[in-house]
Amino acid sequence: MAFKQYNQKQSSLLPPSYSDFLGESHRAVILSEFINELDTTKLVESYCNQNGGSSAYHPVMLLKILIYSYSNAVFSSRNIAMKLKEDIAFMYLAGNNIPDFRTISRFRKEKAEFIEQIFSQIVIKAKSVGFVSFGNCSLDGTKIYASASMDKNYDEEQLKSKIHGLIQQAEDIDALEDELYGDNEDDIDPELKTKAGREKRKKEIKDKEAKSKNALNQIFKTKKYKVKQKRNTTDPDSRLMKMKRKDFANGYNVQNITENGFILSNYIDNSSSDQNTLVPALKKLKDNINIMPKRLLADKGYSTVNNYSFCEEYNINAYIPPHHESIDMSKYKYIKKNNTYIDSTGKIYYFKQNMNRDGFKSIVYQHTDNETNKKIYLYINHNWINHCKKQKKKLSTPLGKRIYKLRGHDVEGVFGNIKKNLKFTHFNLRGFKGVKTEWNLISIAHNIQKLTTA
């Protein structure tokens, strides 16, 4: 049997160019060409070493490596550094440079604003080629796990106790060292000159540390979690929230504005509710791209008077079903003279108060039954009533139903690709700045994939 030549010690295993080996259709080659077409001037100019010093790795090279890494579910800077030594596509993008994991990590943390600028450029490029038109845009959110452990959540009292415990632990160690060494730092206890003596002292210190840790753990066993009052010492910006798996964990509420399966903008909040995210998400789109959607499709979780009013102010045709039905005012007659309402059964509702609860302003009227003394309340918010009428009318038409149906496969498909195909379900960086950078990177990876495979 004749075999092809096999020699692991030959001088060259690969063609002179990695791009020749990968081929023009390889994703790394396409990504590199795509990034080369973008304006990276500001990113490059953010480096300054005119006064000498060692040269830096080229920022465009590091950017390509990071985007390609997130496209391939490689998120750890150590794993990325390893890929640069063993994966041909990574070697091609790096141009045979081998930055260590600290360089990659530092670039990702320090160049966040430029990564966001690159993201915005890609959105503008998608618009210029007609991939998106900002016509039928969808808004939705998902929960992403934070890089934080549940047992690092403390309320104010627990934090004080932990700090006190750590201080006491330090004082105990100081006292033990004083006992060992006395006032002279150079004095060494004779017992520490033997291995058995040193092991004994180590055990004493470990026993004290374990005692302090057990005391802290006991706090968690005897006190219930109060979600709203908890702060995580690993990632203070994250919050305990109910995740998609119905479990409670520290995470972030990630909001995407999408069109045609393409991410136009994103916004990250640490509240589990979607109601207060619509306005800042749209404002961020306006700030970055200077464009607002013609139509915005969102589920009922975004239905508030403020959100409807904001969309009207910016001429955005909102398709957002109300989260509850408004009062049918045709069943009530208003008597202006004494500021009362009378319903179809003759019950009279007298003005009681103006109420503002969770940003929902209502005028409250009260009816009291003369026989049972039972009170019935009528809550009236004219703005809410008007918005509900508009939405009900709009969403009940064939055109409205057809437009709103676009929302499901659009924005949900984006989250599905990111979580299932790109395998991004946990943040690796911490704090708002870190998670925003990571979501911009995964958004860039998703968008380039959409643009280059469309």
* CATH number of domain containing 420: 3.30.420.10
Q: What is the rounded average pLDDT of the residues 418-442? A: 94
CB 146 within 8 A of CB 235: yes
Residue 223: which pLDDT band, with cuts at 50, 70 and 90?
Answer: very low
- Statement: the pTM of the whole predicted model exceeds 0.95: no
Q: What is the rounded average pLDDT of the residues 48-68? A: 83
Contacts 24+ apart (CB under 8 A), 406-409: 406/136, 406/138, 406/297, 407/138, 407/140, 407/297, 407/298, 407/299, 407/319
pLDDT of residue 225: 40
* Domain-terminating residue out of 380, 405, 422: 380
> Are 104 and 246 members of one domain?
no
> Are 310 and 429 members of one domain?
yes
CA distance 180 to 198: 11
CA distance 60 to 68: 12
> Are 51 and 187 members of one domain?
no
Q: How many domains is the chain partitioned into structurally?
A: 4
CA distance 308 to 323: 12
> Are 374 and 406 members of one domain?
no
Residue 201: count of CB within 10 angstroms of its CB = 16
Residue 409 has pLDDT above 90, yes or no: no
pLDDT digits (tens, 9 = 90+) for 268-316: 999 888 999 999 999 999 999 999 999 999 999 999 999 999 999 999 9
pLDDT of residue 184: 47
Q: Residue 302 region, left (φ>0) first, then alpha (ψ -120 to 50), else beta?
A: alpha
- Residue 417 is classified by DSSP as I
Asked if the structure places residue 302 within a domain, the reply is yes
Q: Cα torsion for 397, 401, 404, 408, to the nearest 10°? A: 170
Instruction: Give SS3 for 411.
Output: helix
Which domain does 181 fall in, by range?
A: 156-225
Residue 8 has pLDDT above 60, yes or no: no
Asked if the structure places residue 363 within a domain, the reply is yes
> Are 319 and 425 members of one domain?
yes
Q: Tell me which of 59-68, 101-110, 274-283, 350-359 is least confident.
A: 350-359
pLDDT digits (tens, 9 = 90+) for 355-364: 876 556 788 8
* Domain-terminating residue out of 192, 225, 258: 225
pLDDT digits (tens, 9 = 90+) for 154-170: 655 555 555 555 555 55
pLDDT of residue 416: 92
* Domain-terminating residue out of 225, 249, 272: 225
Residue 122 has pLDDT above 60, yes or no: yes
Q: Tell me which of 149-158, 182-191, 408-417 is least confident.
A: 182-191
Mean pLDDT for the chain? 83
Asked if the structure places residue 298 within a domain, the reply is yes
> Are 220 and 357 members of one domain?
no
Residue 340: which pLDDT band, with cuts at 50, 70 and 90?
Answer: confident
Instruction: Give SS3 for 129.
Output: coil
Asked if the structure places residue 10 within a domain, the reply is no
> Are 70 and 215 members of one domain?
no
**Strand extents, DSSP E, 96-165:** 136-145, 153-154
Q: Cα torsion for 70, 439, 113, 256, to the nearest 10°? A: 130
Angle subtended at Cα 61 by Cα 60 and Cα 67, rounded to the nearest 5 degrees? 85
Asked if the structure places residue 418 within a domain, the reply is yes
> Are 169 and 190 members of one domain?
yes
CA distance 208 to 166: 11
Q: Tell me which of 72-76, 77-81, 98-102, 370-374 is least confident.
A: 370-374
| φ and ψ at residue 445, rounded to 5 degrees | -60, -45
> Are 41 and 188 members of one domain?
no
> Are 271 and 361 members of one domain?
no
More confident residue, 395 or 5: 395
CA distance 201 to 196: 9
**Strand extents, DSSP E, 205-326:** 231-232, 239-242, 248-259, 262-269, 295-297, 317-319
> Are 310 and 396 members of one domain?
yes
Residue 199: count of CB within 10 angstroms of its CB = 10
Residue 102 has pLDDT above 90, yes or no: yes
**Strand extents, DSSP E, 157-261:** 231-232, 239-242, 248-259
pLDDT of residue 376: 85
More confident residue, 187 or 43: 43
> Are 31 and 171 members of one domain?
no
Six-digit token pair at 261? Answer: 């399966």
